[in-house]
Chain A
Amino acid sequence: MSAEPPALEVAHIGHSYGARRALDDVSFSVAPGSFTVLLGLNGAGKSTLFSLVTRLYAAREGKIEIFGHDVARDSGAALRRLGVVFQARTLDLELSVMQNFVYHAALHGIGPAEAKRRGLSLLERAGLGDRAEDKARDLSGGQMRRVEILRALLHEPRLLLLDEPTVGLDIKARADILAQVRELVAERNLAVLWTTHLIDEVEPTDDVIVLHQGKVLAADRSTNIMAAMRTETIGAAFERLTGAKARDAA
């Protein structure tokens, strides 16, 4: 066997809504076990890209592969390696945390007993072991988000996509979630694609993809982008690349 294929390979993706061009010749890849930030302002095309990778609709131009499996042609194999945290809250609020887990596991062909075992172990490690039987409605915003991240890990994916996971959360909750996900990358050798418009979520060692008006303007290690743009911060590099100012904090 040759070297392992990238966790996510996006090649020459384009997408239009009628006359509006949402993505234009977008290419980048996410290495296995890396934390990659997809940085772009609202309207940059992040959500469209997200919909294409999760196969809500099919890419008409270009190709998307998850660990070498084509999302369009070999979607079963591709999607079972993929965990997703959507921007909108997707927990069933009337159901308990564990019931949410059991439902999600069923969508991956995992039976209730195994789902409960995995769910409980994930919750305990995240310090949420006592919330398993609580209704999702009774969790705080930050806890809901963390539960959603744990839920996305139930089927043990190797690539985790998060679409603006910290939107609407306070500073403490944001920091907790970032730390939780960075820990996962280190512990489980999980590849993460973290979508955001908040510049302060980027660390120097992260891979960064700058998406602006449907185009990839840069895709490299954060420090390399700063060096190429001759700036001190990734925020300044982003400004120089896009001519727009990214937000610093929520």
Chain B
Amino acid sequence: MTSETSGFTARQYAICLSGVVWREALRFLHQRERFVSALVRPLVWLFIFAAGFRQVLGVSIIPPYETYVLYEVYITPGLMAMIQLFNGMQSSLSMVYDREMGNMRTLLVSPFPRWFLLGAKLLAGVAVSILQVYAYLIIAYFWEIEPPTPLGYLAVLPALALAGLMFGALGMLLSSAIKQLENFAGVMNFVIFPMFFASSALYPLWRVQESSPFLYWICLANPFTHAVELIRFAFYEKISWESLAAVAAYTTVFAVGALIAYDPAKGMLTRKGG
């Protein structure tokens, strides 16, 4: 045991982390609608949008693909990233909700360091988002969308973890700035949709470049593009170093931003009152 005044032991940190993840998982299990809708959304894109567009949009051979691929195969990494983006934003929604309900305050009044508490909350959200992605992949498998070798399922895991962290950190940053629950509609319009459409999720970027060089630059700067490419390459057991660097950099920026926003001394919470 530690004395009353000293810090916590490594074991106590582990207890705290697993407690936060455990609660998130329990809440997730109790919210079945949330799970179903997280699954239905990408499946609608896969079964309806992709089926309709496969004739219209030809995808030439671009890395990491070595042959022509079906459009369904092309958009699957984008849909995996979309699941994680929604999850990240949803946990940001739940943080706004938590804050209104006081649960966020219960978390923040814990004597553990605040960076650790927010990090634990972030990891809990990432774990849930990865479960959702694999649930999607199981269904996609029966639609003959699979990696070249089963190893791809394993190789994509670190990419999902990193992408999940990036979206989670972004969500956390936004959650500190959103005061009202209703603003989630705004997040949909101003964050989720633009990020999803101005990316390589639905069409390869060379196609975008052909029609608008300006849009092409926006797509290149979009963190979502890099999450999609990181996942796309990892699924084929390859690494896109450029995307890895971009995702790591964006994650750092968002996480530092969230820490500052939730820092009791500097944060935006101070200005809001309540």
Contact = CB atoms under 8 A, between A and B. Distances in A.
B108 to A, nearest CB: 6
A109 interface: yes
A90 B20 contact: no
Interface residues of A, number: 41
A92 interface: yes
Contacts of A103: 19-20, 22-23
A48 B274 CA distance: 7
Given A57-B269, A58-B265, A109-B15, A76 B112 contact: yes
Interface residues of B, number: 42
B269 A94 contact: no
Contact of A108 (B5, B18, B101, B111): B111
Given A90-B103, A92-B103, A109 B16 contact: yes
A57 B106 contact: no
Contacts of B11: 109
Interface stretch (A77-85, A121-129, A227-235): A77-85
A109 B12 contact: yes
Interface string B6-31: 01110111011011101100110011
18 contacts: A17-B273, A54-B105, A54-B108, A55-B108, A57-B267, A76-B8, A76-B111, A79-B110, A86-B105, A88-B100, A92-B23, A95-B27, A103-B20, A106-B22, A107-B112, A108-B110, A109-B8, A109-B13
Interface of B: 4-5, 7-9, 11-13, 15-16, 18-20, 22-23, 26-27, 30-31, 100-103, 105-113, 117, 264-265, 267, 269-274
Interface of A: 17-18, 22, 47-48, 51, 54-58, 60, 69, 72, 75-80, 82, 84, 86-90, 92, 94-95, 99, 102-111
